[in-house]
Structure 1
C-alpha cells in the first residue's frame, strides 16, 4: 500500500494540471451518448438506424486522422520548445464553439456545422491534450514513479468519464450542452491563472529576417523536426515496437468506437440512458483498475505484462460486442473495460521509459501520430461494413460482423506486444533538434 499512497502524493504538483483537465473530460464525455440521439434525430427523423450519421462519423474520423499525422508531432515539438502551458490552453479551448452551436439549435444545418467545427477541433486537440499532459508529467515526476502517476492520471480520466456519463444519464437533454459549455470554458481560464510552465522557451533569433526567409526557415525546421522524430522512434527498439503495437490496437479500437453506439442503437434500440449506462460501466471498473490495481501490479509484473493483459481483454471486449445475441451481452462486454483500459497508461509508460527526458513530447506525439494513421484507415472499412450488415441487404445475419473483424487487429497488436523489448536509452546524448519556430 505504500507505493499506492506514494503515487497519490506524487500528484500534488500536478493539481493545477489535472483539475481543469478533469472538468474538460467530464464536459466532453457527457455529450457522447446525447450526440447519438441528436444527430440521428436531425439527419434521420423518427428512425433508429441512420447510415448518414454513421458515414459522417467515419468521414470525420478519416479527415481528423489525415491532419493529425502532421499536427500531433508539430504540437509535441512546440511544447518541447515553447512550453506545455500555451499548447494546452490552445488545445483545450477548441471544443467550446462546436458544442455552443448545438446548444443554440439542433437542426440539420446546425448539426452539419457542428461536424465541420468539431472536425477542426479534433485535429488540434484529439490525442494532443493527453500527450502534452503526459510530457508535462515527465517534466516533473521521476522516471521510476511515472508508471504509477500515469495510471492515476488515466484513472482520473476514467473517473471524469463516469461523472460525465452520470450527468448525461440524469440531466434533462436540453441542459446537457449548456452545462458542458460552462465546464469547457472553466478549463482554459483555470489553466491560464494557475498552471505553472515547466519548459523554458527557446529564445527567438534573427528578428529582422524577411517574412519569406522566416517562412523558409519554418519549413526547413519542420522537416528537420519530423526527420529527428522519425529517427528517435525507428532507432529505438522500444519505441519502434510500441509504435507497431499502438498502430494495430488503434486500428481496431478506433474502428469500434466510431460505430459502436450507432450499432447498439440500431441492433438493440438503445437510447441515451442505456448508452450512458454502458459507458459508465467501463468507467467505473477502470477507475479501480487504474488507481489501485496498476500501481500495485506494475512493480510486480512490469509494463509489458500489463500491456499484453489489456490487449487480451480488448479482444474479448470486441468479440462479445460483435457476437452480441441479446441486449444484456453489451453490458457483459463493457465489463472487460476494467482490464483493457490499462493499455493506455502502460503504453504511455513504455514510451516514456524508451525516450530521453528532452524528447518526451516528440516521442509521445509522434506515436500518437502513428495512431492517427490507424484512426483514419479504420473508418474506411468499418463505416461501409457496419452500414451493410445493419441493413436488410446483409449477406448473413450478424449485425456486429465489422466489430468482429476489428478484433483481428487487436490480435495482431497482442502478437507484437509479446515480442516487445523494453530498454531505457541513455539520457546524456546531445539533442540535435532545433526549435520549430525561430
Structure 2
C-alpha cells in the first residue's frame, strides 16, 4: 500500500479534474439548445454541430496523443499534465461568464481546439505516471483504482449538477478545474525524466538521423525531428497483432458510445422534454452502477 499511497496527489488531481469536466455534461444540452434553437425542444442543427465537434476532436486526438506521450517521456508527466488540465479551464470559463449565442460559438470553437489536445491525454498521462511509480505486478490494481476514481468523480459531478442552476454549474466547474491545476502544480511530484528513453513509435531511421548529426542541433529542432509522424503511428499499429486488434476494438467501442451519447440526450429532450436535472438523474444511476462494478 505504500506505493499506492504515494499516488494520492495524482488521485486527488484526477478527481478534481474529472469532477469539473463531468458536471457540465448534463447542462450542456440545454445550453446548446437555448443558444441555437431558443424556445424549442428539437434542433437538428445542435445534433449536427455536436457530431461535427466529436469527429474533429477524435481526429485531432488521434494525431496529438502520440505527440503528448513522446513529449512526456522527455519532459516529465507533470509538465505535460499541466497543459491539458490548464486548457480545460478556458472553455468552461466562457460559459460560466455567459451562455448567449455568441459566447456559445466562442466556447464551441475553443472547445474543439483544446479538446484535440486534452481529450484523453489526462487519462493517458495518468496511466503513464502510475506505470512510472508502481511495480509491474501491482499496476493492474492501481489502474483499477484510477478508473474507480473517475467513476466516483462522474457520480459526484453529475449529482452536484442536479442541485445547481445552469449558471452555477459552469461557475463551480470552472473553479474546480482551476483548483485541480493549482493542486497538481503544488503537490504532485514529477516522475523521473529519463533522457535516454526512446519511444517505440519513433522509426529507427529517424532516431539515427538525429543521433548521428555532427553538430549539436537546436533543442527545439531536435524535439521536432523526433516527433512521431503518421507513418510512425501506422508502423506501430502493424508491429503487433494484439495491439492492432485492441485498437480496432477500442475504436468501434468508442464509436458506439460517443454516437449513442451524442444523440441520446437530444432525443430525450425532444421526446420527453428532459432538462439538465433529468439528465443528471440518469447519469447518476449509470455512474453508481459503474462505480459498483469496479469496486
Cα deviation, 1:61-97, whole Å, max 9, x if unaligned, reads: 1211222221111001111222100100111111211
After TM superposition, give the deviation of residue 156 of structure 1 in Å. Answer: 0.8
Q: Distance in 1 between matches of 2:40 and 2:292?
A: 38
1:67 alignment partner in structure 2: 60
Out of 269, 278, 281, the position equivalent to 2:282 is: 278
2:200 alignment partner in structure 1: none
Please state if 1:146 is matched with 2:107: no
Q: Which runs of 5+ in 1 are unaligned?
A: 1-5, 292-438
Over the aligned positions, Cα root-mean-square deviation in angstroms equals 2.3
1:329 alignment partner in structure 2: none
Q: Which runs of 5+ in 2 are unaligned?
A: 197-210
Contact 2:15–2:153 (8 Å) recurs in 1: yes
Q: Distance in 2 between matches of 1:219 and 1:34?
A: 40
Q: What is the number of equivalent residue pairs in this alignment?
A: 280
1:426 alignment partner in structure 2: none
1:262 alignment partner in structure 2: 266
Structure 1 segments (4+ residues) deviating >3 Å: 208-211, 217-220, 225-233
TM-score (norm 2): 0.87
1:240 alignment partner in structure 2: 244
After TM superposition, give the deviation of residue 266 of structure 1 in Å. Answer: 1.4
After TM superposition, give the deviation of residue 210 of structure 1 in Å. Answer: 7.2
3-state SS in 1 of match to 2:39? coil
TM-score (norm 1): 0.60
* Distance verdict in 2 for CA 1:81–1:274, change over 3 Å: same
Q: Distance in 1 between matches of 2:255 and 2:167?
A: 35
Q: Which moved more, 1:101-110 or 1:247-256?
A: 247-256
Please state if 1:173 is matched with 2:178: no
Q: Distance in 1 between matches of 2:162 and 2:284?
A: 9
* Distance verdict in 2 for CA 1:13–1:159, change over 3 Å: same
Contact 1:261–1:275 (8 Å) recurs in 2: yes
